[in-house]
Amino acid sequence: MSADPERPSEPAAVLRAAEAELLDLAIESGRAEWVQATYITDDTTDLSARATARLLAATARWARTAAALPRGGASAADQRKIQLLRTGLPLIAPGDPALGRELAGTVNGMQAIYAKHRHAPAGASEPVDLQALSRILAEERDPVRLEDAWTGWYRVGREIRRPFVRYVELANVGARELDFADLGELWRSRYDLPPDDLAREVERLWQQVRPLYDLLHAYVRGRLVARYGADRVPERGPIPAHLLGNMWAQSWESIYPLVAPPEEAAGADLTELLRRRGVAPVEMVRTAERFFVSLGLPPLPSSFWERSMFERPRDREVVCHASAWDVDLVDDLRIKMCIEVTGDDFTTLHHELGHNYYQRAYAGQPYLFRDSAHDGFHEAIGDTIALSVTPEYLARIGLLDRAPAPGPDIGLLLHRALEKIAFLPFGLLVDRWRWEVFSGAIAPADYNRTWWALVARYQGVAPPAPRSDAEFDPGAKYHVPANVPYLRYFLAHLLQFQFHRALARAAGEQGPLHRASIYGSTAAGDRLRAMLELGASVPWPDALEALTGERRMDARGLLDYFAPLERWLREETRHLPTGW
C-alpha cells in the first residue's frame, strides 16, 4: 500500500512513495518541456505548462508531508531526503490547484515571450532574434548601432513585466506553505547552511575577488575611453553596458581586440581554427565527448545523438539557449543548442556535456539524490573541463600544429579574465535583486531602478541611456522569466578554479595553472568520477572534500590562476582611476 501524502507515517515509506511518484512526473514533465522548447506553439506551451503544474503540485504536496514527518527515527539519509524534498525544486506550486496551474502557465508564458521576441536593427530588412542581436553586440564597434541593438532586445521586458509581478505573488504562496518566508529563502536553504549564513558566505567570496575585478574594470574602462572618448565613456564612472560586447555586460571577451595589450596574443583563435578545418557542429560535440572519454568516462549513449538538437531548425520556433537534459533521469541524455562554429560554442559544449556526465554518474542514486551536491557544482563541472582547453590540448587533438612555449601569457589570461572575472559581479547581483523582490523589499514600481542600482554597485556598469520605471530590464535575461536561480553561476565561476587546481595536481601537472590540462588523465578522471557519483547524497562540503581535499569554497584557485595577470594589471592601472 502506498503512503498517503496527506498523512505523515513512517519516514522511509513516505519517502519511497514520494520518490516513485515524483520520478514518473519528472519524466512526463521533462518530455513535455523538451517538446515545448524544441517546437514552440500554443499547444506545446499549454501541454508543458500542464505537465509542469502536475509535477509542482505533487512536489509541494510531498514537501508539506515531509515537513511534518518525525525526524527522530529517520536515518541520516532519510533526513537529508526530507530536506531536499522541501527545497529540491526552484518553484513550489500553491496548494490550490487553480493557482498551481496559473503559476506554471505564467512561467511558461514568460519563456515563450522571451523566445519569440525580435528586433529589427537599424538598416535591417526584417526583425532578428537574440542570437543575431548578440552577434551585433559582440562584433559591431559603432556605438549607435550597438545602442540600437541593445535597446531593441531590452524591450522584451515590457511584455514580461506584468506576468512577472503575478509570478512573484504565486511563487511566494507556494514557498510560504512550506514555512519559508518567501521563494528567495527557499532558494538559499538548499546550500547546507542557514539562509542568512549563505548570504554572508557569498559576500565573503566576492570580497576575495573584488580587488582583481576592480583592476580589470579600471583597465578596460581606460582602453574604452581611448577608443570612444570621455564623452561616451566616463573616466571615473560606470562603463556603458552596450560597449562591453555582451547583451548583459556579463562577459567582455568580445571586446578583447579593443583592450588587448600590444604585441600580446590571446592564444589560438579557436573560431578560426575550427572554421579553417571545416569542423561541423556535430563534430564539435563529438570532440567535447572525447575529452570526457579520455578521462576514463564512458561514451554518450546512441540516443543522445538521435534525440539532441544541435542546430536551429528552419521550420519552427525553438529556445536556442543552450541546455543539457536528462529526460528519464537515467540515460536519456540530450543537449539543446543552436550550435555555431565558434570558439565560444566549442567551450559551451564542454560545459553542457559536463552536466550530462554528472547526470549519468549519479543515476544510480535514489531519485531525491539525483542532483549535484549543490547547483553550483553542476555548473562548475563543465567549466572545469573547459579550463583544460589549452594550447597544449588543441595541439593534442590536431587543431593546432604545435602549442606555443609557455611565457607570461598576458594576452591569454586577459582574454580569459574578460570572460571569467568580468562575470562574477553579474553572477552575484541577479539573485541579490530577486531575493529582495521575493521578500517584498523591492516593490514592482521600483523593479527597474533597483536593478540598475545593483548593476552599478557590483558591476560598475550603466545603461546606454536613462531607463524608465515602465521598463523591466531584468526580464531581458533568460533566467529571470524562466525562474532559474542564478547564484549557482557565481559559485561555479569560483569552484571551477578550485576543482581545476585539484584535478591538475592529480594529473601531475607541474607548470602554470593556466596552461594545465587534464585531458587524457585517468587519475584525474577517477577523482572526478568519485565526486560525481555522490550526487546530492552528502552535504556539499563532503563532495568538495572528495574532489579537492578542502571543505570550504574558496577563491584562491582563481587567484592563483590569474596571478600573473593581476601583477600586470596593477602596473598598467597605476595611473588610472579605480572604482566608480
Catalytic residues: 321-322, 351-352, 355, 379, 479, 489
Contact 491, 380 (CB under 8 A): yes
Of 328, 351, 348, the C-alpha closest to 339 is: 348
Report long-range pairs for 189-193 (Cβ below 8 Å, ≥24 apart).
Answer: 189/86, 189/87, 190/84, 190/87, 190/88, 190/374, 190/375, 191/374, 191/540, 192/374, 192/539, 192/540, 192/541
Q: What are the DSSP E strand ranges found in 322-362?
A: 323-326, 333-336
Question: What's the gap between Cα 290 and its chain centre?
Answer: 23
d(CA 25, CA 50): 11
Cα–Cα distance measured from residue 519 to residue 504, given in angstroms and rounded to the nearest whole number:
10
Q: Which candidate, 534, 535, 495, 525, places its Cα nearest to that of 292? A: 525
Collapsed DSSP state (helix, strand, coil) of residue 50: helix
The residues, ordered by sequence, that sit 6+ positions from 70 with a Cβ below 8 Å of its Cβ are 8, 11
Count CA within 13 A, CB hemisphere, residue 4: 4
Nearest Cα to Cα of residue 89 among 46, 48, 29: 29
DSSP structure string for 224-268: HHHHH-TTTS-SSSPEEGGGSSSTTSS--GGGHHHHPPTT---S-
Q: Which letter, b or e, does each residue of 71-85 get, where b requires 16 or more Cβ atoms within 10 Å of its Cβ?
A: eeebeeebebbbbbb
Determine the Cα–Cα distance for residues 500 and 547; give it in Å rounded to an integer.
Answer: 10
**How far is Cα 260 from Cα 257, in angstroms, rounded to an integer?**
5
Grid coordinates in use for 521? 588523465
> What's the CA gap between 378 and 223, in Å, rounded?
35
Q: Which of 17, 32, 28, 89 is nearest to 59 (CA)?
A: 89
